[in-house]
Amino acid sequence: MTTYSLHKITHPDRFGFSPDEYSRFKFGDGTAAAAFGSSLAEGFIRRHMALAPIDEQIVVIPSPYSYIPTATFAMKNHFVYRLNRWLAAGGFPVVQETKVHRTITYKEDYGELSAEERMRLIGNDSFHIDAGFLQGKTLLFLDDIKITGSHERMILKMVGEHRLTNQLFMLYFAELADERIHPNIENRLNYHFVKSIFDLEMIIRSETFLINTRIVKYILNYDFDAYCLFLQNQSDDFVNLLYNMALGNNYHLIEAYSRNLDFLRNYLFNKKNKRIQHGD
């Protein structure tokens, strides 16, 4: 297994990238996702592909998700675009893609947990991948940041359970490279720009917005009064998307989200009835 990270964090206040841009990326900013994915691909090409090209089929795999993609999924798209251009120019096969399926969703904010708490939480999850599809191929597992390595250990556990012998790369946009820095630095990065639910509006209204698990969980877990005000300022398209994503990830089964989700369902129902009454 080979690990590559574009940025190594060795100081709690210096990152090598914009923390505001990273925060917006984590909540669905497609422009930031494009920049991060492209720069990760360029770094990987310089560090690995240009020195020792991979001539067998490459499969790119973003971080595990159930129904709603993670922020890494949007970054992955642009990583693939950039890498495919390099591969095609060199006469190599362009990449294939697949996903790691996960079975459990949770409301806890992963970024604020310690290494032990992260492993205890994610250790209850199970990952699954189509092992037959991967035979004889080089696997590139993508994630946005490596803090304690708990996700990586779960991926390697899955690899062992499926008895995969493929060449593996674990690729990260950033990595916490100093163990003296507390893992909750991830939370500081995640919320560097997004301080309240109303900071999401600029991101959501952008043409490049891509919904992900973080923004859905954040909205559904927010203070009820502020959430109601926020929701009434959003477009019908976004409100419907939010509800559909929540159901797809089984968030209607999580007690902590029930009040906000009930309001969302009734809000949509009342909107539909008003349109019917006005003949729309």
Q: In this structure, what token pair is assigned to residue 198?
A: 């109303």
Q: Could you tell me the sign of the dihedral formed by the alpha carbons of 76, 78, 79, 84, in that order?
A: positive
Q: Say if 17 falls within a structural domain.
A: yes
Burial class (CB within 10 angstroms; exposed 0-12, middle 13-18, buried 19+) of 203: buried
The closest of 62, 64, 58 to 84, measured between CA atoms, is 58
Supply the CATH number for residue 123's domain: 3.40.50
* pLDDT at position 194 over 80: yes
pLDDT of residue 106: 60
Annotate 83-119 with three-state secondary structure: HHHHHHHCCCCCCEECCCEECCCCCCCHHHCCHHHHH
Banded model confidence at residue 151, pLDDT cuts 50, 70, 90:
confident
Report yes or no on 33 lying in a domain: yes
Q: Is 70 exceeded by the pLDDT of residue 120? A: no
pLDDT above 70: residue 37 = yes
**Within a domain: 201:** no
pLDDT tens sequence across 105-117: 665 665 566 667 6
Residue 143 lies in a domain: yes
Q: What is the mean pLDDT of the chain?
A: 92
Angle at 38 between CA 155 and CA 184, to 5 degrees: 50
Phi, psi of 183 (to 5 degrees): -60, -20
Residue 113 tokens read as 């947990």
**pLDDT mean over 208-227:** 97
Element (H, E) at 173: strand 168-176
Residues 33 and 75 sit within 8 Å (Cβ to Cβ): yes
pLDDT level of residue 78 (50, 70, 90 thresholds): very high
pLDDT tens figures, 12-23: 999 999 999 999
**Which pLDDT value is given to residue 129?**
95
pLDDT at 242 over 80: yes
Q: Containing domain of residue 146, as a range?
A: 2-194
Q: Does some domain include residue 119?
A: yes
Is there a domain that residue 264 lies in? no
Residue in the block written with tokens 């999924």: 73
Does residue 61 lie within any of the structural domains? yes
Specify the pTM. 0.90
Burial of 99 (0-12, 13-18, 19+ CB in 10 A): middle
User: pLDDT band for position 150 (50/70/90)?
Assistant: confident
pLDDT bin (cut points 50, 70, 90) of residue 84 is very high
The larger pLDDT score, comparing residue 110 to residue 232, is at 232
Calculate helix-pair angle for 236-248, 258-277, nearest 10 degrees: 140
Number of independent structural domains in the chain = 1
Which of the two residues, 218 and 279, has the higher pLDDT score? 218
DSSP 176: E
